[in-house]
């Protein structure tokens, strides 16, 4: 899996948008778009974000810097590779592994056999993240991409954080993530740790098999009540 593009992308350290031939749009993010892009010898996904949109959101800019720093250090066969980033006057570009089968969200529901395979692969990606002190904090089907061979890759480290070490750092309090996948301790604004990713994986497995999330209700308040009562 790391043969082709990973090795070829590593040969270059400084990139410019002219090195990429952009083709179809893969999706839309809050601050820009993701495109399939070709270099002279590899196909990647290029996430293009507008500085003008980010400028009005200082917190998001900080999170983006953290996302790139954390993601580019995580090299694992079930974590989408982040090859690096570059910028020009108007944009920030993130160079990512291209997952040609898109998000797992678009392929649900899965059979028990497929669910078992994806769960195993994402568990190993999470174990790797946690062993390096990283909590993903936004695990859900949309952030599990499927590559050309049908293997799962954990993506989108936009809400991830690094637990530096020591008892004070091990518990986090930031309220973040996606309501349906949040754990009781997050919903109740209690300190939490890497186990929030395991909870979100449980919700995701339920959704893979049934096409529905277990705690989803009419309003966010009802959803939170259902999660904390659980
Ligand atoms: P943000 O978190 O920055 O607001 P976002 O989470 O909505 O944005 P992404 O998840 O990075 O944005 O990308 C949006 C969509 O583009 C994804 O849901 C997916 O459909 C597609 N996509 C993103 N990266 C890739 C990739 N590497 N390969 C294939 N498709 C991708
Ligand atoms: Mg996303």
Distance CA 39, CA 21 (A): 6
pLDDT confidence of residue 12: 62
Alpha-helix residue ranges (DSSP H) falling in the chain: 4-10, 51-55, 58-73, 112-131, 184-187, 195-210, 220-229
147 lines ligand 1 (CB under 6 A): no
8 A C-beta contact, residue 172 and residue 142: no
Provide φ and ψ at 153, rounded to 5°. -130, 130
Read off the DSSP letter of residue 111. Answer: P
Residues 172-212: tens digit of each pLDDT: 878 788 999 999 999 999 999 999 999 999 999 999 999 99
Nearest residue (CA) to ligand 1, atom 19: 27
Residue ranges of the chain whose pLDDT lies below 50: 1-3, 167
Q: Is 138 one of the catalytic residues?
A: yes
8 A C-beta contact, residue 185 and residue 179: no
pLDDT confidence of residue 165: 60
Please report the atom of ligand 1 found closest to the CA of residue 142. Answer: 18
pTM: 0.91
Whether the bond into 109 is cis, omega within 30 of 0: yes
pLDDT confidence of residue 10: 66
Ligand nearest to the CA of 30: 1
Distance CA 179, CA 24 (A): 31
8 A C-beta contact, residue 138 and residue 154: no
Tell me the Cα Rg of the chain. 18
């Amino acid at each position: 899996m790391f043969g082709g593009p990973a090795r070829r992308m590593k040969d270059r350290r400084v990139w410019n948008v002219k090195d990429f031939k952009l083709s179809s749009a893969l999706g839309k993010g809050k601050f820009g778009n993701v495109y399939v892009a070709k270099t002279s010898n590899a196909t990647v996904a290029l996430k293009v974000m507008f500085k003008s949109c980010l400028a009005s959101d200082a917190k998001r800019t900080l999170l983006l810097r953290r996302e790139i720093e954390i993601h580019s250090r995580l090299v694992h066969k079930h974590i989408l590779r982040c090859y690096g980033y570059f910028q020009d006057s108007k944009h920030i570009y993130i160079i990512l592994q291209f997952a040609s089968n898109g998000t797992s969200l678009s392929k649900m529901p899965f059979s028990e056999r497929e669910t078992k395979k994806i769960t195993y692969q994402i568990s190993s990606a999470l174990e790797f993240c946690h062993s390096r002190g990283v909590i993903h904090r936004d695990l859900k089907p949309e952030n599990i991409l499927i590559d050309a061979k049908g293997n799962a890759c954990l993506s989108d480290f936009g809400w991830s954080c690094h637990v530096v070490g020591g008892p004070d750092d091990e518990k986090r309090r930031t309220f973040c993530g996606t309501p349906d996948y949040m754990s009781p301790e997050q919903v109740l604004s209690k300190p939490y740790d890497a186990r929030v990713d395991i909870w979100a994986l449980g919700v995701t497995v339920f959704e893979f098999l049934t096409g529905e999330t277990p705690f989803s209700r009419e309003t966010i308040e009802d959803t939170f009540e259902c999660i904390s009562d659980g």
